[in-house]
Structure 1
């Protein structure tokens, strides 16, 4: 077994050594962005299928400090994104706004304070900490789509089998076609951004994004590729591929074939710079070990040289969960500043 471990270590080292670093920093950054977009997969066929987004509002509820709407956003004839929209009760002409992306679990309810059975969840918010609610309470308008493959958005075969998500089925089908589930989810996130920009009460130049765990994958790659994201928060995700994704069992939606031929994860995340970025991580997170969080931060930090105020971190006493003790207020402040 030790020899097999050595074999895979040699594969990794050889891949890293063969990474092309001859280009200058600007050229390399542009090249990596193009490579990332290519590796995620070509979804131009969906662009051709898009229909005008005419949101269908099915429920509106009023709380002490905000309104929560449940809407369905039709993107193509086959894609309809279940989305919660949280708007502060304090009326503004336009709000700084956030695209909030949940991680693995029972679906979008974990981010907006709804239990798996549809009840209000105020006592036990779980690892997601009802984070979209925490953001709207700070004065931001929050758009929270249900990630493809979770909640209501499972494949019928997985619903019949009682599975909690469709990640494996969706990802394996897409991989055979040269596409990735991460790429499809990024494509959807960008469609929600289109809708956000069209909303009359959204400050289109003050849009942020926050994602937890699997939602961090979507947030990182979307923020790299889409300049509309001015401020990003990555919770329970930042690491190195070697220290986390390659070191233990993870959902297949984390894997982008061939990505290590071009860069390790910290360098990919650093492509968000010079736009604002905050990284938070639990010091006892078993899935994204803190040792490698710190290693990633050390690699990303130089990209904010002379822009230290645009890069923030918080390693908090906790496990694989959102904290928000610094990130919520930081996100709000940076959106007001941009």
Structure 2
């Protein structure tokens, strides 16, 4: 299993960023093709998630395919940008039916790109769906739009997988899909086999969840279709380099995946505003490889026994021994 593990990253990892203070950005803009070429420089990185539509409309699918091939990269998912200014009041939950149709049409196009690149899924991050103030929305109507909008698309494109990446807040103060439990409720209501969760480790932390528990819940319902990792200080979605703040919880997260025989790409969702993106990706992947080595040496039976007794000290001693001795082994 370890030898076959694939590592991926959202292509935005290699972009340059702005915030509300450095409105001139933290570096010169990069094109999608330049970002793909940078991703190709990261050893062991073989998979990328790509936003759609492309920021530069002059870039063709053929050009993207050529860039992927020359860098030895595959596409795991296409992320339609249903969170931009046009969708400020929501994509699925927008009060304007025309805007909701526009979101659906963009996702239809993204589905075609998934097929073109042989990707695994359409990734939905409905960041603008939800509300900000008390009394702002009819909660029943907003939830109905959230569930029915995705279900209609998933049923239409039944040959593809759709993953929902939940997040507590930002940009909306309350996002419709804000937790693993609420997202699972929506998916179960849809009742379709091709809709699942993409579990962002940092979003689970930020939402006050234990990421390993979130993963187990999604697995128990057969809905963990993808995952990505990063880190934060739990008060915001900082998208820091994976393993730099919560290494033990990250190890527990991957322990849970291994225990359940969950196989898939270990993907980065990091935003290195001030760091070199190639170095940041390399650092994260090196730590993920440390976790792999630690999982190979961890005594799963002994861990299960400690957990059966709720023996935190013994369990953590085993976890730390495995993880810290595997570092740079």
TM range (shorter): 0.3 to 0.5
- Which structure's residues are more often helix, by fraction? 2
TM-score by length of 2: 0.35
TM-score by length of 1: 0.34
- Which structure's residues are more often strand, by fraction? 1
